[in-house]
Amino acid sequence: MRRALLSLRPQARRGLLPAGRQLTPSAASRGFASPSSSAQAPSKWPKRLLIGVSVLAAAKYLVHAQEAPEKKECRRLLLLGKDCVEKGDVNQATSLPTAIKSLKAVHPISARYVAGVKLMDWMGECYHHLGRYEPAEKLFKKAIRLYEKYHNELPDQDPSRSSKRVVAALDMDVSNVFLHYAQLMVSLERDSEASLMRKRLVELVRSSPVMQIQEANTLDQFDDLMALHAIRKERRRKRGERHDSSF
């Protein structure tokens, strides 16, 4: 019996649980137990850790529970928009203008700008895929104006203006707007305006501390995606010609 009990001690001291076991408070405590003796009093740190995690989880829940309904709805619609674009469900994504109204409840103001640029870019891309070029162009232009407004018109006393993280996020988001707007211009056969978007991207990359270290890669990606878009456009045109000639 003594030999059998001794053979069980090493397993009880392991920090990793066997496969298929559920992590319960008692099981988690064994990972922190002292290996010197099974008769020694168990450490209080596991209980304190679990209490701390529970308090943090409760605090996070209360913060989200006390948010304004408009802010919750804005977050939900933004996640929905991202999911729709990634899955190609453009018809559902074009129903997202409701989220723009919810942006007024987002604080701080800097977060409102980031969410607005991102949302308008997604919606413009969806309209482009649906062949609704006019609303797509309006949304891309509105996203660019919102980006410019943050840099030029936001009051200096707003502490969020100096946030490097916000500026970096806006720079990255508006670079996607430039790409998608340029692709739309190619679809509309307005190549000169597509070239203008590339020039604006070059200026943005060289002025952005975060993006300038990736200048070559960013411009290569832009050119590759523009070339791919042109190939697809030509392929669709040829398919349309073959379809017309079959009648």
Token pair 């870019």 in the structure block, residue: 121
107-162: pLDDT as tens digits: 677 778 888 898 889 888 888 888 889 999 999 999 999 999 888 766 555 555 55
Domain 69-235 has CATH 1.20.58.100: no
Percent share of the chain, pLDDT over 70? 50
In single-letter form, the type of residue at position 168 comes to A
**How far, in Å, CA of 3 to CA of 183, rounded?**
74
Q: Angle at which helices 215-245 and 191-207 pack, to 10 degrees?
A: 160
84-103: pLDDT as tens digits: 666 666 665 555 656 666 66
- Asked, as a colleague might, if the bond just before 159 is cis with ω within 30 of 0, I would say no
Tell me the CA end-to-end span of the chain in Å, nearest whole number.
90
Contact of 78 with 99, CB cutoff 8 Å = yes
Domain boundaries, the chain: 69-235
In single-letter form, the type of residue at position 196 comes to L
To the nearest 10°, report the CA torsion of 81, 87, 88, 92: -40
What pLDDT, on the 0 to 100 scale, is given for residue 37?
Answer: 44
**How far, in Å, CA of 17 to CA of 170, rounded?**
44
Collapsed DSSP state (helix, strand, coil) of residue 109: helix
Q: Write the burial class of residue 238 (CB in 10 Å: 0-12 exposed, 13-18 middle, 19+ buried).
A: exposed
Q: Write the burial class of residue 123 (CB in 10 Å: 0-12 exposed, 13-18 middle, 19+ buried).
A: buried
Between 25 and 176, residue with greater pLDDT: 176
**How far, in Å, CA of 98 to CA of 111, rounded?**
17
Task: Report in angstroms the alpha-carbon separations of 176 from 132, 148, 161, 200.
Answer: 19, 15, 21, 12
What pLDDT, on the 0 to 100 scale, is given for residue 60?
Answer: 45
Percent share of the chain, pLDDT over 90? 28
Q: Work out the average pLDDT over 7-30.
A: 38
**How far, in Å, CA of 94 to CA of 245, rounded?**
34
